[in-house]
Amino acid sequence: MEKLKIIIVDDHKLFREGLKILLSNLEEVDEVLEAPDGEAFLSMLPACHPDLVLMDIEMPRINGIEATTRAIEKFPELKILALSMYSDEEYFQKMVDAGVCGFLLKNSEFSEVKKAINAVVQGNNYFTEEILYRLVNRFKTKPAQTETPVTLSDRELEVLLLICKGLSNQEIADQLFISKRTVDHHRASLLTKTDTKNAASLVIYAIKHKMIEV
């Protein structure tokens, strides 16, 4: 695997610099760039071609939601992982709609940061367990949304649950004793049936519609 170029977008300089030092020491990382806000990030994006962006949500000038939306519009394949605080819960849906691949709490252990980066770079979603359970609890007391009801097979439901747990297609295939190609087909079918654009939005859809129990 080629070494990674990562951009950290966060308005707290001390946090950026600390995370940059840790990431720079990883063997799989080639370069770590910094941006203090969404405006600076969007200005540098066309020239640097990052493999991954770690995006804060609340920032001055241009926040993480708008920066992510505009970046994904220009570079649809760009992988963005949201850096979240517990207080950012109200923005989770907006960040998913903007196109992020998942969420990482800013107070996470660095071992989890590495796990999240590896997952997202490989094309998977990543939600810390704390955020996943907060999302579940947020919608637990609300009636299931049924504006677009879908019917899923038992196998699709199995695949959906494992996607929500952050497993890769190969890991799902190994766990269910089926081929990765079959899992690829089920994932594509789930995205089509639920009219979602990526795994992160699929997770939110499944939680909102009470299709899974985490």
Give the model confidence (pLDDT) of 84-114 as tens digits: 886 566 788 888 889 898 898 888 899 999 9
Indicate whether 61 and 154 sit together in one domain: no
Q: What span, in angstroms and rounded, lies between the C-alpha atoms of 44 and 93? A: 26
Indicate whether 75 and 158 sit together in one domain: no
Domain range for residue 24? 4-137
Please report, as a single letter, which amino acid is at residue 160. L
Last residue of a domain, one of 83, 102, 137: 137
Indicate whether 76 and 166 sit together in one domain: no
Residue located via tokens 């020491």? 25
Query: Could you tell me the pTM of the whole model?
Result: 0.78
Indicate whether 101 and 186 sit together in one domain: no
Q: What span, in angstroms and rounded, lies between the C-alpha atoms of 15 and 126? A: 21
Q: What span, in angstroms and rounded, lies between the C-alpha atoms of 123 and 129? A: 19
Q: What span, in angstroms and rounded, lies between the C-alpha atoms of 126 and 150? A: 24
Is residue 213, in this structure, part of any structural domain at all? no
Instruction: Give the tens place of pLDDT for each residue, 126-141.
Output: 888 777 777 777 666 6
pLDDT(149) > 70:
no
- Report the domain count for the chain: 2
